[in-house]
Amino acid sequence: MVTIMLLKEYKNIAEKVYSQKLPNGLSVFVVPKPGFQKRYAFFATDYGGADRKFKLGGKWTQTPEGVAHFLEHKLFDTPDGGNALTTLSANGASPNAYTSTDITAYHFECIEKFDENLETLLSFVSTPYFTPESVEKEQGIIAQEIKMVEDDPDYCLYYGFMKSLFHHNPMRDSVAGTVESISEITADTLYDCHKVFYNPSNMVLCVVGDVDPSKVIDMALKVLPKHAGEIPERDYGSPEVLSPCAKGFYKDMEVSLPIFLAGCKIIPPIHGPQYLRHSLINSLALDLLVGHSSPLFIKLYSQGLINSDFSASFDCAVGAAYVLFGGEAREPKRVFEEVQTEIARLSKSGLDAQLFRRTKKAALGATIRAFNSFETTCGNIVEGHFRGFDPFDAPEVLSGISQDDILDFYRTSLLSDNMAISIVAPH
């Protein structure tokens, strides 16, 4: 019954969320959207490409790079010889999945037959089926994908940047692993990691749409394991120093214009409600620094040094955090220097008050509009659950950010000594 679920209403943004933690440890969130035809389900585990060393039952285990991504691919295989992607698609759903540094998620959207599709989603994710033959076949497929992506300029640019920033944190490594590392994966490896990380205690189910929350709970209770599993202890190595591993990466490839990524290692936000506030400060600070309405972006764009693809972002995972900015640029190093000069100027002279109000208002509008996206809402709820914050508090938290918060971020976090640049240029 719905009455056994916790209901939290956010009247300032006209949203409500039902939630419940089941006896098996699974956390369930349902965001009702009465009158909408589309319904969206998102089933995620707190497990990604960086979770390679973990302790369970007092014993440490080290797995090869790429297991989380490999496991995501193989879980779609069902014991009857079928494939869950095919089943969901044939039933009118649009399914997909992804593996990031710290999360693996399976999701679908549909208009009809939601209950059947939800049962399929929960069943195949919780029912591993691997054979030595199917694992060997998948090794060949993923090896080809790895070889293809290693020739992609954007891939080389990004991981050149990450390996420049980080000394040993697994964020510097490809989620897909290497051809050599995936060759070490066996069916037993996949079964072991599924048992550890795909237990309900380590997972979240989120549904958005015109659905009955009690039916979502009933389906989860019907399909998923009845007992909670142990949450593993993870090891990502010793804390990273803020200085980069290398100041830069450079490679010649088949590109029409130079592309670059530059950025800075920063202290990662702490787990809990403060994580949300720090993330919003970081994102707003980047908008004010190099966003499309910032004086620096307008200057660089008018001089032809960058184009409209230029962007910036903040990311944090597995004990490390960074900001980055980049795009196509005729003179990447000059753009990099201009950004550092602008950070120093703003740190000394302060922000334009009118620009701050306008940029903050735009960020607030974008934050509220994001709740219209079922996929974004689910992703934010899952991230918030794993990192200890409530994403529906974002508008209120953003409203409380001041100019001093932004300037403090520039002065204490965006330090030139902690920056690096990655460039891929034409032959």
Q: Which residues are catalytic?
A: 72
The pairing of strands 15-21 and 27-32 is antiparallel
Longest CA span, the chain? 67
72 near 253, Cβ under 8 Å?
A: no
Tell me the CA distances in angstroms from 60 to 55, 232, 237, 300, 330, one per residue in order: 4, 10, 13, 51, 49
Q: Which two tokens stand for residue 351?
A: 């922000």
> What DSSP designation does 414 have?
-
19 near 5, Cβ under 8 Å?
A: yes
Q: How far from the centroid of its chain's Cα atoms is residue 82's Cα?
A: 29
Q: From CA 414, how far away is CA 402, in angstroms rounded?
A: 18
Q: Residue 133, class by beta-carbon neighbours within 10 Å (0-12 exposed, 13-18 middle, 19+ buried)?
A: exposed
Query: What string of H, E and C letters represents the secondary structure of 5-68?
Result: CEEEEECCCCEEEEEEECCCCCEEEEEECCCCCCEEEEEEECCCCCCCEEEECCEEEECCCCHH
